[in-house]
Amino acid sequence: MIKTAQDMIRALRRDTYCGVILYQGPSLIDGAPIVVIANRIVSDSDNVKTGAMVQTFILRQDMRPLDAARLGYDFSICGHCPHRPTNAGSCYVNIGRSVESVFGAYKRGRYARPHIDYDTSILPELFADSVFRLGSYGDPAAAPFRVWAHATARVKARNGYTHQWRDFPAFAALCMASVDSEAEATEARAGGWRTFRVRAATAPLMAGAEIACPASDEAGKRTTCADCRACGGMSAKARVSIAIIAHGATARRFAAAA
């Protein structure tokens, strides 16, 4: 068993593992078996918008992500998100590429298992001074808050979003409330959240309450998420809320539903 962060970093660099499993157990949303995986720990992300961040994936343990999304079983890891494929499908994540790849590596045993391959006490040091993305795919609230709080105890910054903000108030410390209307934004902020609102291109920013995402096309891509660090809930230095115009291959579906 790996018992130091330094030994885990060496194992990752030798490609013994391509990441670590942070959690395996029941979804807090519906009790189905899920797994939380962290990768890009010693290598940079190839996502030009986010920049170099530790990436995490919340997946069903028992089925391919594409099947889960097609059949609606992704509720276990996405909850009430209106952008799920079975809810008109405006999610911008390319499930068939990175998410399926992560799941395949998980099934091949390429991720270090907690309490078996490594001691979880090393996680704060392993991720120390990194910029950590909670939920590159999936909703962070599907997994216990304590898992995320422990893993990110010493990070430089966090980036995370949850549509489960009505049910999991503790996550306001780590994540933005994902909202899809001005009414939802107002409700979430009244409950102690900072918000991240997806809006149609014709919808204005909420005066005095929101700014355009600095990494977005509409803001001129002035920075990356890794450098901006505004989307870390109440733990971030920023206090204003963020909004972004629906983007990606499915953005037209959001516009049609708005």
Where do we find the tokens 């979804």?
27
Report how far residue 133's alpha carbon sits from residue 115's, in angstroms, rounded to the nearest whole number.
23
The whole-number pLDDT of residue 51 equals 55
The whole-number pLDDT of residue 89 equals 66
Report how far residue 83's alpha carbon sits from residue 88's, in angstroms, rounded to the nearest whole number.
7
Strand partners, 211: 242
pLDDT at 258 over 60: no
Reading the block at residue 86, the tokens are 């079975």
Where do we find the tokens 């270090």?
112
Question: Are the CB atoms for 151 and 61 separated by under 8 Å?
Answer: no
The whole-number pLDDT of residue 108 equals 98
| CA nearest to 22, candidates 162, 148, 168 | 148
pLDDT at 256 over 50: no
* HEC letters along 39-90: ECCCCCCCCCCCCCCEEEEEEECCCCHHHHHHHCCCHHHHCCCCCCHHHCCC
- Which whole number is the average pLDDT over 18-30? 98
pLDDT for 213-236, tens place per residue?
Answer: 999 999 899 999 999 999 999 999
Report how far residue 100's alpha carbon sits from residue 80's, in angstroms, rounded to the nearest whole number.
22
Report how far residue 36's alpha carbon sits from residue 34's, in angstroms, rounded to the nearest whole number.
7
The whole-number pLDDT of residue 45 equals 56
Tell me how far CA of residue 208 lies from CA of 10, 38, 105, 205, 211, in angstroms.
Answer: 48, 36, 45, 9, 8
The whole-number pLDDT of residue 34 equals 98
pLDDT for 159-194, tens place per residue?
Answer: 999 999 999 999 999 999 999 999 999 999 999 999
Where do we find the tokens 């579906």?
253
Q: For the chain, what percent of residues have pLDDT higher than 90?
A: 79
The whole-number pLDDT of residue 52 equals 79
Reading the block at residue 187, the tokens are 């409700």
**Average pLDDT value for the chain:** 92
Q: 167 in helix, strand or coil? A: coil
Strand partners, 133: 159
Strand partners, 158: 132
* HEC letters along 170-200: HHHHCCEEEECCHHHHHHHHHCCCCEEEEEC
Which residue has better confidence, 110 or 88? 110
Residue 221 backbone dihedrals phi, psi, to 5 degrees: 50, 50
Kindly give, in sequence order, each residue whose CB lies less than 8 Å from that of residue 242, ignoring residues fewer than 6 positions away: 176, 194, 195, 196, 197, 210, 211, 212, 213, 230, 231
- Which whole number is the average pLDDT over 26-30? 98
pLDDT for 44-97, tens place per residue?
Answer: 655 545 557 999 999 999 999 999 999 999 999 999 999 898 887 678 788 999
The whole-number pLDDT of residue 219 equals 87
Reading the block at residue 245, the tokens are 């115009």
Q: For the chain, what percent of residues have pLDDT higher than 70?
A: 92
In this structure, the strands spanning 176-179 and 111-112 are unpaired
Q: How far is CA 9 from the centre of its chain?
A: 22
pLDDT for 141-152, tens place per residue?
Answer: 999 999 999 999
The whole-number pLDDT of residue 246 equals 81
pLDDT at 255 over 80: no
pLDDT at 250 over 60: no
Reading the block at residue 21, the tokens are 């499993």
